[in-house]
């Protein structure tokens, strides 16, 4: 009997081993490493998913689509750059928590006039799992933080530059025009030989020739561009001439919708640009509120519940005419800056305040004292005593000028930085 039992055990082990090997082999067939990138890898499943995403995108023209080979090359390049930046984020300790992720997804849905549930249905119907979509968005947010951390320190803007641009904005309405640009970049860095430069310029001229003959710009961007937006049809989004790279500004200033310009030589290659759309300046208006509050800070001897109870008592005293809001603020508010003024915070834009406070002053009716609510500073009651709308165009010119200059310089430095980290990384294609 012992021999029979031993034989059965051995048979089970052999069968289990056989099944395990088959399972491992099946998993290996389902996915494989395509590129080694420093300490990470790019998987075939990532490439397939990105290509599928592109094919389901608005900029993809199925009737005149590039080959799967071209799409795969572009997808691999994007994923290599993504992997390098995600590894940098990991070393820097950058993370996006679930609350930040949910907020970003809600904003994406809102910008598309969808609910989050509708956005989820759209993703699932396009073949992408909701978990994969969420992870993509999380990665994008992480990469944005890495880019800001790495590139922002390379951008320098002087007060003189801001003042000069403000004067230009005031004297020239044309600088307010925004352009929606698309780009095809034929890569050729400053270290390229003369022969390589000539070859790259020839490729750029070939692309221009195809465009002249009616080829679709977005399709050619997917097929030919080395730019980071290639898989988006080269779409660079909205920019003014002051927020785009200087070379681009000189080339497209005054151009009409549909115009194509280039090739424009830069330190990273030859650029071909298309003006996809234009729009004019809009007046900036801001809402301000005049509010007053009473703040009670919980402590070791004052619980949250007691702080809330005290504020409810103050509300009752005001309602009964026993005390005024200003009197109670002077006597009890833990905000020294406003307490001496009867709790008055003056005129301010709601986004100056903590999120919970902002929500209250935006939502309550003027002249109504809120229920007690908490922020990071403690427990409050607040009353909005006035609202007004201001034309903030003039006062926002300095900020707008700064943002224009920063955007221009950031784009220029981002392209250079991405090329640098790509060149410095260890990248090895794994043979099939």
Q: In what order do the strands lie in the sheet with 378-391?
A: 344-348, 285-296, 378-391, 373-375
Instruction: State both tokens at 3.
Output: 């021999």
Query: First and final CA of the chain: distance in angstroms?
Result: 50
Domains of the chain: 33-152 (1.10.4030.10), 159-282+396-424 (3.10.50.40), 285-391 (3.10.50.40)
The CA distance from 337 to 321, in Å, is 25
What integer pLDDT is reported at residue 172 of this predicted model?
Answer: 60
Look at the alpha carbons of 10, 14, 15, 16 in this order and tell me if their dihedral is positive or negative.
positive
Summary count for the chain: helices (H), strands (E) = 15, 11
Contact between residue 329 and residue 338 where contact means Cβ atoms under 8 Å apart:
yes
Contacts of residue 131, Cβ cutoff 8 Å, sequence gap at least 6:
none
DSSP letter (8 states) at residue 193 = -
User: Which ranges constitute the DSSP H helices of 225-270?
Assistant: 246-252
Residues contacting 232, CB < 8 A, separation 6+: 57, 59, 221
Select from 180, 239, 166 the least CA-distant residue to 411.
239
User: Residue 173's pLDDT is what?
Assistant: 54
CA 252 to mean position of chain CA atoms: 25
How many Å apart are CA 349 and CA 357, to the nearest integer?
12
Question: Cα(188)–Cα(416) distance, rounded to whole angstroms?
Answer: 12
pLDDT at residue 9, rounded to an integer = 41
Strand (E) or helix (H) holding 195: helix 194-212
Residues in the chain, overall count: 432
Long-range CB pairs of 129-132 (<8 Å, 24+ gap) are 132/49
Identify the pLDDT of residue 30: 67
Instruction: Please tell me the predicted confidence (pLDDT) of residue 22.
Output: 43
Pairwise CA distance, residues 16 & 294, whole Å: 71
Burial (CB count within 10 angstroms: exposed 0-12, middle 13-18, buried 19+), residue 253: middle
Per-residue pLDDT of the chain (432 residues; tens, 9 = 90+): 444 444 344 433 333 333 334 444 444 456 899 999 999 999 999 999 888 888 877 777 777 778 888 999 999 999 999 999 999 999 999 989 888 999 999 999 998 899 999 999 988 888 888 998 999 999 999 999 999 999 988 999 999 999 888 877 766 655 467 889 999 999 887 777 888 888 989 998 999 989 888 888 998 999 889 888 888 889 999 988 778 888 888 888 778 888 999 898 988 889 999 999 888 755 677 899 999 999 999 998 999 999 999 999 999 999 999 999 999 999 999 999 999 999 999 999 999 999 999 999 999 999 999 999 999 999 999 999 999 988 776 677 788 788 889 988 998 899 999 999 999 999 999 877
Helix 68-92 to helix 44-55 angle (10° resolution) is: 120
* Gap between the Cα atoms of 295 and 238, Å rounded: 43
The predicted model scores a pTM of 0.53
> Using CA atoms, how far apart are residues 19 and 251, in angstroms rounded to an integer?
64
pLDDT at 18 (0 to 100)? 39
């Amino acid at each position: 009997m012992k021999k029979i039992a031993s034989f059965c055990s051995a048979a089970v082990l052999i069968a289990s081993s056989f099944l395990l090997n088959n399972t491992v082999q099946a998993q290996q067939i389902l996915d494989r490493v395509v590129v080694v990138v420093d300490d990470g890898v790019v998987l075939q499943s990532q490439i397939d998913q990105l290509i599928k995403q592109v094919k389901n995108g608005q900029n993809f023209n199925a009737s005149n689509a590039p080959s799967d080979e071209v799409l795969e090359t572009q997808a691999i390049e994007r994923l290599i750059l993504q992997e390098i930046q995600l590894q940098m984020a990991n070393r820097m300790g950058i993370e996006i928590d679930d609350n930040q992720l949910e907020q970003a997804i809600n904003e994406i849905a809102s910008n598309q006039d969808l609910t989050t549930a509708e956005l989820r249905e759209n993703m699932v119907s396009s073949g992408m799992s909701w978990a994969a979509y969420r992870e993509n968005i999380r990665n994008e947010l992480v990469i944005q933080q890495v880019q800001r951390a790495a590139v922002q320190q390379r951008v320098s803007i002087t007060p003189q530059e801001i003042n000069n641009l403000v004067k230009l904005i005031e004297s020239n309405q044309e600088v307010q025009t925004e352009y929606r640009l698309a780009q095809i970049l034929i890569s050729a860095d400053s270290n390229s030989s003369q022969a390589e430069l000539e070859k790259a310029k020839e490729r750029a001229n070939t692309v221009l020739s195809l465009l002249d003959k009616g080829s679709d710009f977005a399709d050619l961007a997917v097929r030919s561009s080395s730019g980071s937006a290639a898989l988006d049809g080269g779409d660079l989004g909205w920019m003014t001439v002051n927020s785009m790279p200087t070379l681009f500004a000189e080339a497209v200033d005054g151009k009409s919708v549909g115009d194509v310009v280039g090739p424009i030589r830069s330190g990273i290659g030859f650029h071909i640009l298309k003006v996809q759309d234009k729009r004019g300046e809009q007046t900036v208006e801001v809402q301000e509120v005049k509010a007053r509050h009473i703040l009670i800070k919980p402590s070791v001897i004052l619980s949250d519940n007691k702080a809330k109870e005290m504020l409810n008592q103050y509300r009752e005293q005001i309602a009964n005419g026993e005390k005024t809001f200003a009197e109670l603020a002077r006597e009890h508010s833990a905000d020294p800056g406003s307490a001496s003024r009867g709790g008055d915070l003056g005129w301010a834009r709601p986004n100056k305040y903590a999120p919970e406070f902002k929500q209250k002053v935006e939502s309550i009716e003027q002249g109504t004292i809120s229920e007690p609510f908490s922020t990071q500073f403690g427990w409050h009651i607040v009353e909005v005593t006035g609202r007004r709308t201001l034309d903030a165009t003039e006062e926002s010119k300095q900020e707008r000028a700064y943002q224009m200059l920063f955007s221009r310089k950031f784009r220029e430095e981002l392209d250079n930085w991405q090329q640098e980290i790509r060149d410095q990384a260890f990248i090895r294609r794994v043979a099939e």
